[in-house]
Amino acid sequence: MKKTIRIALTVSAVVCLVLSTIPLSAEESWESLNQESKRAKINAEAKASLDEVLAKSKNAGSLHAKAYGWAVFDNLKIAFGWSGGGGNGVAVNKGSGARTYMKMGTVGVGFGLGAQKYQVVFLFQDEKTFRNFVDNGWQADATAQAAAGTAGAGAQTGFVNGIAIYQLSDAGLMASADIAGTKYWKNKKLN
């Protein structure tokens, strides 16, 4: 019985990881893009996501004005018994404009079936928090939440441990969306 469950969980995890690499639209595949095109695509998606958060959240604008830096990640999460996903992003030092390209990955346990594409926007209060995120990576713990900044949606009014987090999906800015179990690290191929 234990061996059957272990095999089923392993197969589910592999299916999630394979499905997360399949493009959901007819746009040019990520693998076919050169390094500069990949950076340009990440930069364009990051700017659009940051602009959307700033437009939809009263508090994000004031936090962004005070922030040392910001980061945006585009993620595709697939659930098939297990959930798994990954994506790319960029962390930006507001003062210098320097960009560090990064990756993210997530794995979880739970019952579900389907795919979700979403963006995560981070605002960093100070240089130490920003540098730690970029240089050492970051792993969201079980209590990490992305709190939306719209009225009635659990508005985030300040930085928590030096970071403010917002999550966007096709439905818009999400209230209290869970990002636990997600890890962020430098993308060696794009830096």
- 17-71 pLDDT tens trace: 444 444 444 457 878 899 999 999 999 999 999 999 999 888 899 999 999 999 9
> What is the reported pTM?
0.76
Higher per-residue pLDDT: 1 or 81: 81
Over the stretch 114-158, which tens digit does the pLDDT of each residue have? 777 889 999 999 999 999 999 998 776 544 554 444 433 334 668
- Cβ-Cβ contacts under 8 Å for 130 (sequence gap 6 or more): 68, 69, 91, 93, 124
Cα–Cα distance between 93 and 84 in angstroms, integer?
Answer: 29
Within 25-68, strands assigned E span: none
Higher per-residue pLDDT: 178 or 87: 87
Confidence at residue 55, expressed as pLDDT on a 0 to 100 scale: 92
Over the stretch 61-112, which tens digit does the pLDDT of each residue have? 999 999 999 999 998 877 766 677 889 999 999 999 999 999 998 876 655 6
Reference 73, options 188, 159, 186; nearest CA is 186
Residue with tokens 């995890």: 13
Q: Which of 2-6, 44-48, 155-159, 163-167 has the largest mean confidence?
A: 44-48
CA–chain centroid gap for 34, Å, is 22
Q: List the domain boundaries for the chain.
A: 2-25+33-186
Cα–Cα distance between 37 and 43 in angstroms, integer?
Answer: 10
Terminal Cα-to-Cα distance of the chain (whole angstroms): 46
The answer to whether 22 and 16 have CB atoms below 8 angstroms apart is no
Confidence at residue 62, expressed as pLDDT on a 0 to 100 scale: 93
Cα–Cα distance between 182 and 190 in angstroms, integer?
Answer: 20
Cα–Cα distance between 33 and 6 in angstroms, integer?
Answer: 37
Confidence at residue 91, expressed as pLDDT on a 0 to 100 scale: 98
> Helix (H) and strand (E) counts for the chain?
4, 8
